[in-house]
Structure 1
Amino acid sequence: MLDTGSPAPDIVFEDTEGRTVRLSDYQGKQAVLVYFMRSTSCPVCNKHVQELIRSRNEFEADSVQVLVAVPEGRQEAAAWKARRQVPFPVLHGRSSAPHTMIGLERKVFGSMQQSGSILIDSQGVVRHAHGATMPTGSYDRKGIAAAVQGLRTHG
Protein backbone atom coordinates (compact mmCIF):
# COMPACT_ATOMS: atom_id res chain seq x y z
CA MET A 1 0.00 0.00 0.00
CA LEU A 2 1.16 3.54 -0.65
CA ASP A 3 2.53 5.66 2.17
CA THR A 4 0.91 8.96 3.14
CA GLY A 5 3.27 11.81 2.30
CA SER A 6 5.02 9.92 -0.48
CA PRO A 7 4.89 10.80 -4.17
CA ALA A 8 2.11 8.93 -5.95
CA PRO A 9 3.24 6.51 -8.63
CA ASP A 10 2.08 7.37 -12.12
CA ILE A 11 -0.32 4.49 -12.50
CA VAL A 12 -1.85 4.02 -15.93
CA PHE A 13 -5.49 2.96 -16.10
CA GLU A 14 -8.04 2.65 -18.86
CA ASP A 15 -11.55 4.03 -18.52
CA THR A 16 -14.75 2.41 -19.70
CA GLU A 17 -14.49 4.30 -23.00
CA GLY A 18 -11.05 2.81 -23.70
CA ARG A 19 -9.16 6.05 -23.00
CA THR A 20 -5.86 6.02 -21.14
CA VAL A 21 -6.03 7.73 -17.73
CA ARG A 22 -2.87 8.48 -15.74
CA LEU A 23 -2.84 9.73 -12.17
CA SER A 24 -0.37 12.37 -13.35
CA ASP A 25 -3.08 13.75 -15.68
CA TYR A 26 -4.49 15.53 -12.62
CA GLN A 27 -1.23 16.99 -11.31
CA GLY A 28 -1.27 20.76 -11.14
CA LYS A 29 -5.05 20.73 -11.66
CA GLN A 30 -6.90 19.02 -8.81
CA ALA A 31 -6.75 16.34 -6.17
CA VAL A 32 -7.87 12.81 -6.98
CA LEU A 33 -9.67 10.30 -4.77
CA VAL A 34 -9.51 6.76 -6.15
CA TYR A 35 -11.86 4.24 -4.57
CA PHE A 36 -10.81 0.66 -5.29
CA MET A 37 -13.77 -1.72 -5.26
CA ARG A 38 -13.29 -5.35 -4.34
CA SER A 39 -15.54 -6.20 -7.29
CA THR A 40 -18.53 -4.69 -9.08
CA SER A 41 -20.68 -7.42 -7.55
CA CYS A 42 -19.68 -6.59 -3.96
CA PRO A 43 -22.81 -5.18 -2.26
CA VAL A 44 -20.79 -3.35 0.40
CA CYS A 45 -18.52 -1.73 -2.20
CA ASN A 46 -21.59 -0.69 -4.20
CA LYS A 47 -22.97 0.93 -1.05
CA HIS A 48 -19.70 2.86 -0.66
CA VAL A 49 -19.91 4.06 -4.27
CA GLN A 50 -23.45 5.30 -3.59
CA GLU A 51 -22.10 7.25 -0.62
CA LEU A 52 -19.43 8.78 -2.86
CA ILE A 53 -22.16 9.76 -5.32
CA ARG A 54 -24.20 11.39 -2.52
CA SER A 55 -21.04 13.33 -1.51
CA ARG A 56 -20.26 14.37 -5.08
CA ASN A 57 -21.01 18.07 -4.56
CA GLU A 58 -18.71 18.28 -1.54
CA PHE A 59 -15.86 16.65 -3.46
CA GLU A 60 -16.42 18.99 -6.41
CA ALA A 61 -16.45 22.02 -4.06
CA ASP A 62 -13.03 20.93 -2.76
CA SER A 63 -11.76 20.33 -6.31
CA VAL A 64 -11.41 16.58 -5.75
CA GLN A 65 -12.02 14.30 -8.74
CA VAL A 66 -13.45 10.95 -7.68
CA LEU A 67 -12.41 7.90 -9.69
CA VAL A 68 -13.65 4.35 -9.14
CA ALA A 69 -11.24 1.50 -9.91
CA VAL A 70 -12.56 -2.02 -10.49
CA PRO A 71 -10.71 -5.29 -11.02
CA GLU A 72 -12.98 -6.38 -13.89
CA GLY A 73 -12.30 -5.67 -17.56
CA ARG A 74 -13.57 -2.75 -19.59
CA GLN A 75 -16.83 -4.26 -20.87
CA GLU A 76 -17.96 -5.49 -17.48
CA ALA A 77 -16.92 -2.17 -15.87
CA ALA A 78 -18.85 -0.21 -18.51
CA ALA A 79 -21.98 -2.32 -18.01
CA TRP A 80 -21.76 -1.87 -14.23
CA LYS A 81 -21.22 1.90 -14.57
CA ALA A 82 -24.29 2.25 -16.80
CA ARG A 83 -26.47 -0.01 -14.66
CA ARG A 84 -25.53 1.81 -11.44
CA GLN A 85 -25.53 5.27 -13.07
CA VAL A 86 -22.08 6.09 -11.70
CA PRO A 87 -21.20 9.68 -12.66
CA PHE A 88 -17.47 9.24 -12.01
CA PRO A 89 -14.89 7.81 -14.37
CA VAL A 90 -14.65 4.05 -13.83
CA LEU A 91 -11.19 2.63 -14.37
CA HIS A 92 -9.62 -0.76 -14.79
CA GLY A 93 -6.00 -1.76 -15.21
CA ARG A 94 -4.54 -2.08 -18.66
CA SER A 95 -2.25 -5.02 -17.95
CA SER A 96 -3.19 -5.95 -14.38
CA ALA A 97 -5.83 -5.12 -11.80
CA PRO A 98 -5.50 -1.53 -10.53
CA HIS A 99 -5.43 -2.93 -7.00
CA THR A 100 -2.22 -4.84 -7.66
CA MET A 101 -0.56 -1.67 -8.96
CA ILE A 102 -0.81 -0.01 -5.53
CA GLY A 103 -0.47 -3.07 -3.32
CA LEU A 104 -4.12 -3.76 -2.51
CA GLU A 105 -3.90 -7.51 -2.77
CA ARG A 106 -3.30 -10.00 0.00
CA LYS A 107 -2.37 -13.63 -0.29
CA VAL A 108 -4.48 -15.89 1.92
CA PHE A 109 -4.97 -19.41 0.60
CA GLY A 110 -4.50 -18.00 -2.86
CA SER A 111 -5.36 -14.43 -3.71
CA MET A 112 -7.97 -12.29 -1.99
CA GLN A 113 -8.86 -8.94 -3.52
CA GLN A 114 -8.70 -5.99 -1.15
CA SER A 115 -10.51 -2.69 -1.46
CA GLY A 116 -9.66 0.80 -0.25
CA SER A 117 -8.90 4.34 -1.32
CA ILE A 118 -6.12 6.81 -1.98
CA LEU A 119 -6.28 10.59 -2.03
CA ILE A 120 -3.59 12.34 -4.04
CA ASP A 121 -3.22 16.12 -3.83
CA SER A 122 -2.84 18.34 -6.89
CA GLN A 123 0.96 18.16 -6.53
CA GLY A 124 0.98 14.36 -6.79
CA VAL A 125 1.53 13.57 -3.11
CA VAL A 126 -0.43 10.81 -1.36
CA ARG A 127 -2.48 12.44 1.43
CA HIS A 128 -4.56 9.41 2.40
CA ALA A 129 -4.11 5.69 1.78
CA HIS A 130 -6.32 3.02 3.27
CA GLY A 131 -6.91 -0.60 2.42
CA ALA A 132 -8.94 -3.43 3.92
CA THR A 133 -9.48 -7.10 3.26
CA MET A 134 -13.07 -6.92 4.46
CA PRO A 135 -15.16 -4.54 2.32
CA THR A 136 -16.97 -3.18 5.39
CA GLY A 137 -13.73 -1.46 6.41
CA SER A 138 -12.65 -0.29 2.97
CA TYR A 139 -14.30 3.13 2.86
CA ASP A 140 -12.62 5.28 5.49
CA ARG A 141 -15.08 8.19 5.45
CA LYS A 142 -13.49 9.98 8.42
CA GLY A 143 -9.96 9.52 7.13
CA ILE A 144 -10.90 10.82 3.69
CA ALA A 145 -12.76 13.80 5.20
CA ALA A 146 -9.74 14.68 7.35
CA ALA A 147 -7.40 14.41 4.34
CA VAL A 148 -9.69 16.61 2.23
CA GLN A 149 -9.81 19.11 5.11
CA GLY A 150 -6.01 19.04 5.08
CA LEU A 151 -6.07 19.95 1.38
CA ARG A 152 -8.11 23.04 2.26
CA THR A 153 -5.81 24.19 5.04
CA HIS A 154 -2.49 23.31 3.43
CA GLY A 155 -3.22 24.18 -0.16
Structure 2
Amino acid sequence: MLKIGSTVPDLELQDTDGRAVKLADFHGSEHVLLYFMRSTTCPVCNGHVKDLVSRKDELAARKVRVLVAVPGDRAAAAAWKAKRELPYLVVTGRSGTPHEVVGLTRKVFGAMQQSGSVLIDSHGTVRHAHSATMPVASYDKKGIAEAIRSLDTGHTT
Protein backbone atom coordinates (compact mmCIF):
# COMPACT_ATOMS: atom_id res chain seq x y z
CA MET A 1 0.00 0.00 0.00
CA LEU A 2 1.19 3.50 -0.71
CA LYS A 3 2.65 5.28 2.32
CA ILE A 4 1.44 8.61 3.70
CA GLY A 5 3.90 11.34 2.73
CA SER A 6 5.22 9.42 -0.28
CA THR A 7 5.01 10.69 -3.83
CA VAL A 8 2.59 8.74 -5.97
CA PRO A 9 4.22 6.84 -8.82
CA ASP A 10 3.03 7.65 -12.31
CA LEU A 11 -0.12 5.54 -12.11
CA GLU A 12 -2.10 5.02 -15.26
CA LEU A 13 -5.58 3.55 -15.03
CA GLN A 14 -8.39 3.21 -17.56
CA ASP A 15 -11.90 4.65 -17.39
CA THR A 16 -15.02 2.77 -18.48
CA ASP A 17 -14.71 4.21 -22.00
CA GLY A 18 -11.17 2.85 -22.36
CA ARG A 19 -9.44 6.23 -22.00
CA ALA A 20 -6.22 6.47 -20.03
CA VAL A 21 -6.54 8.18 -16.65
CA LYS A 22 -3.17 9.31 -15.34
CA LEU A 23 -2.97 10.60 -11.78
CA ALA A 24 -0.30 13.05 -12.94
CA ASP A 25 -2.98 14.78 -15.05
CA PHE A 26 -4.58 16.08 -11.85
CA HIS A 27 -1.36 17.53 -10.39
CA GLY A 28 -1.54 21.24 -9.83
CA SER A 29 -5.31 21.45 -10.13
CA GLU A 30 -7.15 18.84 -8.06
CA HIS A 31 -6.69 16.42 -5.22
CA VAL A 32 -7.65 12.82 -5.95
CA LEU A 33 -9.47 10.39 -3.68
CA LEU A 34 -9.17 6.84 -4.99
CA TYR A 35 -11.70 4.48 -3.43
CA PHE A 36 -10.89 0.83 -4.12
CA MET A 37 -13.89 -1.49 -4.05
CA ARG A 38 -13.50 -5.17 -3.22
CA SER A 39 -15.96 -5.90 -6.01
CA THR A 40 -18.94 -4.21 -7.68
CA THR A 41 -21.21 -6.84 -6.11
CA CYS A 42 -20.06 -6.12 -2.55
CA PRO A 43 -23.03 -4.54 -0.73
CA VAL A 44 -20.75 -2.94 1.87
CA CYS A 45 -18.54 -1.36 -0.81
CA ASN A 46 -21.63 -0.13 -2.67
CA GLY A 47 -22.77 1.52 0.57
CA HIS A 48 -19.41 3.29 0.81
CA VAL A 49 -19.79 4.56 -2.74
CA LYS A 50 -23.30 5.83 -1.88
CA ASP A 51 -21.76 7.82 0.97
CA LEU A 52 -19.18 9.32 -1.38
CA VAL A 53 -21.97 10.28 -3.79
CA SER A 54 -23.91 11.94 -0.95
CA ARG A 55 -20.78 14.02 -0.23
CA LYS A 56 -20.27 14.96 -3.91
CA ASP A 57 -20.81 18.72 -3.46
CA GLU A 58 -18.63 18.90 -0.34
CA LEU A 59 -15.80 17.05 -2.07
CA ALA A 60 -16.08 19.17 -5.23
CA ALA A 61 -15.94 22.35 -3.13
CA ARG A 62 -12.64 21.11 -1.66
CA LYS A 63 -11.37 20.31 -5.19
CA VAL A 64 -11.28 16.59 -4.47
CA ARG A 65 -11.84 14.43 -7.54
CA VAL A 66 -13.17 10.98 -6.66
CA LEU A 67 -12.15 7.94 -8.69
CA VAL A 68 -13.80 4.63 -7.90
CA ALA A 69 -11.45 1.75 -8.69
CA VAL A 70 -12.98 -1.64 -9.38
CA PRO A 71 -11.13 -4.92 -9.93
CA GLY A 72 -13.38 -6.18 -12.74
CA ASP A 73 -13.08 -5.68 -16.47
CA ARG A 74 -14.00 -2.44 -18.21
CA ALA A 75 -17.35 -3.68 -19.59
CA ALA A 76 -18.53 -4.86 -16.17
CA ALA A 77 -17.35 -1.60 -14.61
CA ALA A 78 -19.23 0.44 -17.24
CA ALA A 79 -22.46 -1.50 -16.66
CA TRP A 80 -22.15 -1.09 -12.89
CA LYS A 81 -21.48 2.66 -13.22
CA ALA A 82 -24.44 3.18 -15.60
CA LYS A 83 -26.83 1.23 -13.39
CA ARG A 84 -25.99 3.45 -10.42
CA GLU A 85 -25.69 6.69 -12.43
CA LEU A 86 -22.44 7.50 -10.67
CA PRO A 87 -21.12 11.05 -11.04
CA TYR A 88 -17.53 9.82 -10.59
CA LEU A 89 -14.98 8.29 -12.90
CA VAL A 90 -14.87 4.54 -12.50
CA VAL A 91 -11.47 3.11 -13.30
CA THR A 92 -9.93 -0.29 -13.89
CA GLY A 93 -6.34 -1.30 -14.39
CA ARG A 94 -4.76 -1.08 -17.83
CA SER A 95 -3.07 -4.37 -17.03
CA GLY A 96 -4.04 -6.24 -13.90
CA THR A 97 -6.24 -4.51 -11.35
CA PRO A 98 -5.89 -0.96 -10.06
CA HIS A 99 -5.63 -2.54 -6.63
CA GLU A 100 -2.39 -4.30 -7.54
CA VAL A 101 -0.88 -1.00 -8.70
CA VAL A 102 -1.07 0.45 -5.16
CA GLY A 103 -0.34 -2.78 -3.31
CA LEU A 104 -3.83 -3.95 -2.38
CA THR A 105 -3.57 -7.70 -2.66
CA ARG A 106 -5.81 -10.70 -2.27
CA LYS A 107 -5.74 -12.13 1.25
CA VAL A 108 -7.25 -15.12 3.02
CA PHE A 109 -5.92 -17.82 0.70
CA GLY A 110 -6.07 -15.43 -2.28
CA ALA A 111 -9.85 -15.26 -2.22
CA MET A 112 -10.54 -11.87 -0.59
CA GLN A 113 -9.60 -8.69 -2.48
CA GLN A 114 -8.42 -5.92 -0.17
CA SER A 115 -10.18 -2.59 -0.50
CA GLY A 116 -9.48 0.89 0.82
CA SER A 117 -8.78 4.49 -0.07
CA VAL A 118 -5.91 6.80 -0.96
CA LEU A 119 -6.06 10.61 -0.92
CA ILE A 120 -3.45 12.28 -3.10
CA ASP A 121 -2.97 16.03 -2.90
CA SER A 122 -2.61 18.24 -5.96
CA HIS A 123 1.18 17.96 -5.70
CA GLY A 124 1.11 14.16 -5.97
CA THR A 125 1.75 13.43 -2.28
CA VAL A 126 -0.20 10.71 -0.47
CA ARG A 127 -2.13 12.38 2.36
CA HIS A 128 -4.24 9.41 3.47
CA ALA A 129 -3.92 5.68 2.86
CA HIS A 130 -6.12 3.02 4.40
CA SER A 131 -6.79 -0.57 3.48
CA ALA A 132 -8.53 -3.60 4.92
CA THR A 133 -9.27 -7.15 3.95
CA MET A 134 -12.81 -7.05 5.32
CA PRO A 135 -14.98 -4.48 3.50
CA VAL A 136 -16.66 -3.21 6.68
CA ALA A 137 -13.29 -1.80 7.76
CA SER A 138 -12.12 -0.53 4.37
CA TYR A 139 -13.84 2.87 4.31
CA ASP A 140 -12.22 5.19 6.83
CA LYS A 141 -14.73 8.02 6.58
CA LYS A 142 -13.28 9.90 9.56
CA GLY A 143 -9.70 9.49 8.36
CA ILE A 144 -10.62 10.68 4.87
CA ALA A 145 -12.42 13.73 6.29
CA GLU A 146 -9.42 14.62 8.49
CA ALA A 147 -7.04 14.23 5.56
CA ILE A 148 -9.21 16.47 3.38
CA ARG A 149 -9.30 19.12 6.13
CA SER A 150 -5.51 18.89 6.38
CA LEU A 151 -5.16 19.78 2.69
CA ASP A 152 -5.61 23.42 3.69
CA THR A 153 -2.88 23.28 6.34
CA GLY A 154 -0.32 21.21 4.49
CA HIS A 155 -0.03 18.66 7.29
CA THR A 156 -0.45 14.95 6.63
CA THR A 157 -2.67 12.77 8.81
TM-score after normalising by structure 2: 0.96
The CA deviation string for residues 87-120 of structure 1, in whole angstroms up to 9 with x for no partner, is 1000000111000111111443234210000000
Alignment of 1:91 onto 2:83: no
- 2:107–2:114 contact (8 Å) kept in structure 1: no
Structure 2 runs not aligned, ≥5 long: none
Q: What is the root-mean-square deviation of aligned Cα atoms in Å? A: 1.1
Counterpart of 1:37?
37
Structure 1 runs not aligned, ≥5 long: none
The amino acid that maps onto 2:104 is L
Counterpart of 1:150?
150
Matches of 2:99 and 2:70, distance apart in 1: 8
Matched residue count: 155
Matches of 2:68 and 2:109, distance apart in 1: 27
The amino acid that maps onto 2:38 is R
Matches of 2:68 and 2:137, distance apart in 1: 17
Where in structure 1 do 4 or more consecutive aligned residues deviate above 3 Å?
A: none
The amino acid that maps onto 1:64 is V
- 1:117–1:131 contact (8 Å) kept in structure 2: yes
Alignment of 1:109 onto 2:109: yes
Pairs within 5 Å for 1:30-69: 30-69=30-69
The amino acid that maps onto 1:49 is V
Counterpart of 1:20?
20
Counterpart of 1:124?
124
- 1:62–1:152 contact (8 Å) kept in structure 2: no
TM-score after normalising by structure 1: 0.97
